[in-house]
Structure 1
Amino acid sequence: MAFRSDRPDIAPLELPIHDAVLATAERHAEIPALVDGVTGESVSYAQLDTGSRRVAAGLAEAGVRKGDVVALYSPNTIAYPVALYAATRAGATVTTVSSLATVKELTGQLRDSRARWIVTVSPFLAAAAEAAGVLAQEGQPIQEIFVCDRAEGHRSLTDLLASTAPEPQPRIDPATDIAVLPYSSGTTGLPKGVMLSHRSVSSNLFQTESMRRTEPGERILAVLPFFHIYGFTALLNQPLRSGSTVVVLPRFDLEQFLRTIQEQRIEGVFAAPPMILALAKHPLVEQYDLSSVRYVLSAAAPLDADLAEACARRLGLPRIHQGYGMTELSPVAAVMTPDDPNPPCGTVGKLVPSTELRVRALDGSGKDLGVGERGELLFRGPQVMRGYFARPSETDAMIDEDGWLHTGDVGCLDERGYLFVVDRVKELIKYKGYQVAPAELEALLLAHPQIVDAAVVGVRGEDGEERPKAYVVRTPGSALTGEEVIEYVAGQVAPYKKVRAVEFLDAVPKSVSGKILRRELRDRARQTR
């Protein structure tokens, strides 16, 4: 059987992302849209709207055309949305790149997405230039690297803002044209470009705001990264569509985070579980006035119910809200409403409008399960991605012929329509809300001359956090140590992808077909913890 949201259906929002977000900018013209939480500099809605239009003109004058891919490689800044909406106004697709990416990872994403342009910040220029150099040698040149701030020899957003060229008017088909191309590992494998159309992103904003939305002038703290689909949606598109004020921090530092809440009188905090843990237990919290906070919403990874209760109690809130989604769902499938008087403990909320859910049995029978029965979660709705870029077979494995997206997550729906997510059948590791693909780390390990086989799984510590652990088979006679393995991987990946523990085996357990038996390794980790 298929479950449906108990909310009235919505018609898909047939708007380009920039129009869906900034359509009401004129109404909120003088309200600060963005505030730099470090310097206090602000950008009004009028400046954001006008700025994105003029920068779009500058990009078009530089040669950016409909269908081009622009890589946005930057930490959180108040210039980030200007670059984002300017690129989509010019008709381009934006691929958001992790601000923690290594040169190798950046090069791989630029290559795979077929990016032709880069927008970055001056501290990242060396990495961007090195990646561009590699691609040039491969015959896939980057046309130009722009900067959000200033750097000698590179045009900045300010330079583009001064363009007198006409604003571009590309013909965008919201249903088919790709607005953003974030990278996700999906249920398994290496990171892949997730094709999110303008319609899927815009419709998901419409779906979500019917259940919870911020208010004009409401102050939201943006510390989660904009390149991640959670931050991209919850901290940029949704609050800016509502006329709220987004206070931007470049990274999570607990003291700065708390000070900004106090000084900026933050009302809404969107968090990941590690931040909830800090708010619940760190002694530094007691030194700051957090009384302005009206709600906290946690997503990106499972949140322990006891931890959520402890955090809510310490902040004097009725509860910590949760939501559920994934990049491939643009991203929201379920969310808690702020006015719900009695949600059950541990729920991630109810399905957003126009969303269908099937709970499929895990025994391989393909049977649909009923209320309260646990199985793999399958979703269908206007927010489902168009597919993985240039990967039809992976797309077919993720979305079936009837349009159901197979999440690889295990959960159930109760009799009141509340969704619970309890486990994962997929291989993906979630470390502090970031996606870590075991296959990517395994490929690196297998390139080591003293490693003949390897497997990586997520192992939960006593704090409930999942960390990548490598099981390694050394070459005969090798004296390779666990510390050397950790350092080898750390030198080639972003910090959140690092292997945190190593165990040496005589052989990696595998099935007859050669598939790694990860459950055996997870069971082994639990027994030896």
Structure 2
Amino acid sequence: MPLFSGRPTPSFPNVDLLTYLFDDPRTLYPHDLNTPLFISSSNTSNFLTGNSIENLSRRLGKGLRDLAGIRDHGGNDAGKDVVLCTSTNHLLYPICMLGTICAGAIFSGANPGYGESELTHQLRDSGAKVIFASASTLPTVLLCTEKLGIPKSQIFLFDGPRDGIRGIESLFDNDRMEWRRISTYEEMANSTAVLLYSSGTTGLSKGCRITHQNLVCGGISCLQCSDPTDGRIRPKKTYLAFLPLYHILGQLYYCVGSVKTGNTTYIMEDFTFPGLLASIEKFRINFLVIVPPIAVLIAKSPLTKKYDLSSVQYVLSGGAPLSAEAGLGVERVFDPTGKKGARITQVWGLSETTGAATFFDLDDYDDEGKREGVGKLISGVSAMIISDDGKEVAQGERGEILVRGPTIFPGYWRNEKATKETFTRDGWLKTGDIGYMTKKDVLFIVDRKKELIKVKGFQVAPAELEATLLESHDVDDVAVIGIKIDDAEHPRAYIVPAHPNVKAEDVQKWVSDRLAPYKRLTGGVRFVKSIPKSASGKILRKDLKAEAARESSTPAIAKL
């Protein structure tokens, strides 16, 4: 039988995202709309209030209509215009997203680190008509737009006008516009609001269609966990938005969640680790949303001792699995004595699930699994765990996780083939993640199905080897892949050493002393300066496999 969420299912309203955020009469989070909500961490005199967020979003929408030729084609996605934003975090980033939706268009955020080929693909695939850019991304944007025939008049800069390209402020010099309300379930479920481009483990990235229903229901279900309205008095949250706002975590938590609740959110434009620690101290951040690479830095870096981090009470990690060693290490940094009760929890989901499919309640956490549990199913979402032959497994057994519910995307943008491959015939999303659920309904993620290494008939999860290696004081960071030697797969570890004296044989012995023989690093150990990762913290194993393929000689198989 499917696994259902044990949480009460709220009454999901049939409204569009902007109505939910700005004038839904059933709001549970009253707050002063004239106090700063989004604040620039580099210049706190620059801020946006709840009122100015709505006002600027509606002005931007009108500007996109009048100056950029954006048109509202109703609920028909086939005729909708797309607006793309490629920039690091900026105070006006949420306005770009909400203003685009106000204009009746689809918003698509792009990684500001993209090169010409990557950005060209997203522009071409999405069919973007307008581009928001920054000074740092403009050179790449100009290369792409020249190739695609997009005129400079369709580019708007966060940094003000330059070289004949208009600044974003020109779009605000308009009257406010009314957005087109959605009031039917059918249109809410099928009208795309955001296109999220997944990094893609193989091949080119695909655009995930995130609908108004996905964002509204996702916002409601996640806030039910993180911002409960149970009558208990809790400190008001203060966030630091340093995770990229083009990613679903940033969009759901800040562009939707913060606007709905009024939680104060400092936006960090340019990320550095010392800057992160200094901002936590300066702004007394008490709720931190992170990804595993940041968790590892916090747990292991001596820099944390130079800052007062005592304000942090809650830490939420998402984007990729987090090891027990890193999770408990983060808690020790923020709560050295354990008396404060600071806790880290994990959230699990994909772009295709609008970010979160599981969540812990605010005052709940994984104690038995040493913080490796990723929470319980959010309201409205059900799951099924199946074996390789498609049969359901018993609770507690491992298998691929399938999910369905109102937060699950309807499919990929203009890619019917990929959409069909991602869903079962009866409508379950195949997540590609291997996991199991405990009797307490807590989900644990073992690894990605496509990343499992087959060793002599056994399945070896890279995440398990990585978690084991991160427990070593010799290892700062690690990634494990499978390599082929004589047509057989062998696990290989790429290690960021913690000091210059780390030896490969010591790393191999660490694993062989702790895990079964078939999990040994028979593919060898390679020392690297850094592990390639996406912005959400996912290890880019395809980059490491490409590196392995380039090696001219076959490594010797370690025999321990």
Answering whether residue 41 of structure 2 is matched by residue 37 of structure 1, we say: yes
Is the 1:376–1:425 contact (alpha carbons within 8 Å) kept by the matching residues of 2?
Answer: yes
Is the 2:208–2:409 contact (alpha carbons within 8 Å) kept by the matching residues of 1?
Answer: yes
Give me the whole-angstrom Cα distance separating, in 2, the residues matched to 1:373 and 1:177: 37
Is the 1:116–1:143 contact (alpha carbons within 8 Å) kept by the matching residues of 2?
Answer: no
Is the 1:12–1:382 contact (alpha carbons within 8 Å) kept by the matching residues of 2?
Answer: no
- Letter of the structure 2 residue corresponding to residue 329 of structure 1: T
Q: Deviations over 1:61-119 (max 9, x none)?
A: 12111210000111111110111111000000011100111121111100011111111
Residue from 418, 439, 447 that aligns with 2:442: 418
Aligned to 1:190: 204
Aligned to 1:323: 347
Is the 1:31–1:245 contact (alpha carbons within 8 Å) kept by the matching residues of 2?
Answer: no
- Structure 1 residues 283, 375: CA separation in 2 closer, same or farther (over 3 Å shift)? same
Aligned to 1:381: 405
332-341 vs 111-120, which moves further: 332-341
Give me the whole-angstrom Cα distance separating, in 2, the residues matched to 1:278 and 1:228: 21
Is the 1:185–1:428 contact (alpha carbons within 8 Å) kept by the matching residues of 2?
Answer: no
SS at match of 1:388: coil
Is the 1:113–1:193 contact (alpha carbons within 8 Å) kept by the matching residues of 2?
Answer: yes
Give me the whole-angstrom Cα distance separating, in 2, the residues matched to 1:525 and 1:48: 60
347-356 vs 142-151, which moves further: 142-151
Is the 2:358–2:378 contact (alpha carbons within 8 Å) kept by the matching residues of 1?
Answer: yes
SS at match of 1:209: helix
| TM-score, normalised with respect to structure 2 | 0.76
Is the 2:22–2:54 contact (alpha carbons within 8 Å) kept by the matching residues of 1?
Answer: yes
Q: Deviations over 1:401-438 (max 9, x none)?
A: 22100011000111111111111113599xxxxxxxxx
Give me the whole-angstrom Cα distance separating, in 2, the residues matched to 1:78 and 1:393: 38
Aligned to 1:453: none
Give me the whole-angstrom Cα distance separating, in 2, the residues matched to 1:336 and 1:264: 25
- Letter of the structure 2 residue corresponding to residue 406 of structure 1: K
Aligned to 1:50: 55
Residue from 209, 219, 226 that aligns with 2:223: 209
Aligned to 1:477: none
Give me the whole-angstrom Cα distance separating, in 2, the residues matched to 1:525 and 1:350: 44
Give me the whole-angstrom Cα distance separating, in 2, the residues matched to 1:189 and 1:247: 36
Q: Deviations over 1:446-494 (max 9, x none)?
A: xxxxxxxxxxx9995744543789989xxxxxxxxxxxxx9xxx9xx9x
1:317-466 correspondence to structure 2 within 5 Å: 317-340=341-364, 343-345=367-369, 346-362=372-388, 365-427=389-451, 462-463=475-476, 465-466=478-479
Give me the whole-angstrom Cα distance separating, in 2, the residues matched to 1:342 and 1:271: 17
Aligned to 2:87: 74
Answering whether residue 191 of structure 2 is matched by residue 146 of structure 1, we say: no
58-67 vs 166-175, which moves further: 166-175
- Structure 1 residues 400, 503: CA separation in 2 closer, same or farther (over 3 Å shift)? closer
- Structure 1 residues 391, 143: CA separation in 2 closer, same or farther (over 3 Å shift)? farther
Give me the whole-angstrom Cα distance separating, in 1, the residues matched to 2:235 and 2:152: 39
Give me the whole-angstrom Cα distance separating, in 1, the residues matched to 2:218 and 2:286: 23
Is the 2:71–2:104 contact (alpha carbons within 8 Å) kept by the matching residues of 1?
Answer: yes
Give me the whole-angstrom Cα distance separating, in 2, the residues matched to 1:255 and 1:210: 33
Is the 2:239–2:288 contact (alpha carbons within 8 Å) kept by the matching residues of 1?
Answer: yes
- Structure 1 residues 212, 56: CA separation in 2 closer, same or farther (over 3 Å shift)? same
SS at match of 1:57: helix
Name stretches of at least 5 consecutive residues in structure 2 with no aligned partner: 73-79, 229-233, 336-340, 454-461, 470-474, 486-527
- Structure 1 residues 122, 32: CA separation in 2 closer, same or farther (over 3 Å shift)? same
Q: Deviations over 1:12-62 (max 9, x none)?
A: 342322333344699431221111111222111111111111111111112
Answering whether residue 158 of structure 2 is matched by residue 134 of structure 1, we say: no
SS at match of 1:59: helix
Superposition CA RMSD, Å: 3.4
Give me the whole-angstrom Cα distance separating, in 2, the residues matched to 1:226 and 1:384: 20
Give me the whole-angstrom Cα distance separating, in 2, the residues matched to 1:401 and 1:347: 29
- Letter of the structure 2 residue corresponding to residue 32 of structure 1: P
Aligned to 2:274: 255
Aligned to 1:105: 118
Aligned to 1:7: 7
Is the 2:345–2:366 contact (alpha carbons within 8 Å) kept by the matching residues of 1?
Answer: no
The share of aligned pairs that are identical, in percent, is: 31
Larger RCO: 1 or 2 (CA < 8 Å, sep 6+): 1
Is the 2:343–2:365 contact (alpha carbons within 8 Å) kept by the matching residues of 1?
Answer: no
Aligned to 2:502: none
- Structure 1 residues 122, 343: CA separation in 2 closer, same or farther (over 3 Å shift)? same
Answering whether residue 332 of structure 2 is matched by residue 313 of structure 1, we say: yes
339-348 vs 420-429, which moves further: 420-429
Deviation at 1:338, TM superposition (A): 1.9
Is the 2:344–2:365 contact (alpha carbons within 8 Å) kept by the matching residues of 1?
Answer: no
- Structure 1 residues 424, 135: CA separation in 2 closer, same or farther (over 3 Å shift)? same
Question: How many residues were matched structurally?
Answer: 465
Give me the whole-angstrom Cα distance separating, in 2, the residues matched to 1:143 and 1:128: 13
Answering whether residue 185 of structure 2 is matched by residue 162 of structure 1, we say: no
Give me the whole-angstrom Cα distance separating, in 1, the residues matched to 2:208 and 2:548: 34
- Structure 1 residues 68, 254: CA separation in 2 closer, same or farther (over 3 Å shift)? same
Give me the whole-angstrom Cα distance separating, in 1, the residues matched to 2:267 and 2:550: 46
Give me the whole-angstrom Cα distance separating, in 2, the residues matched to 1:11 and 1:254: 41
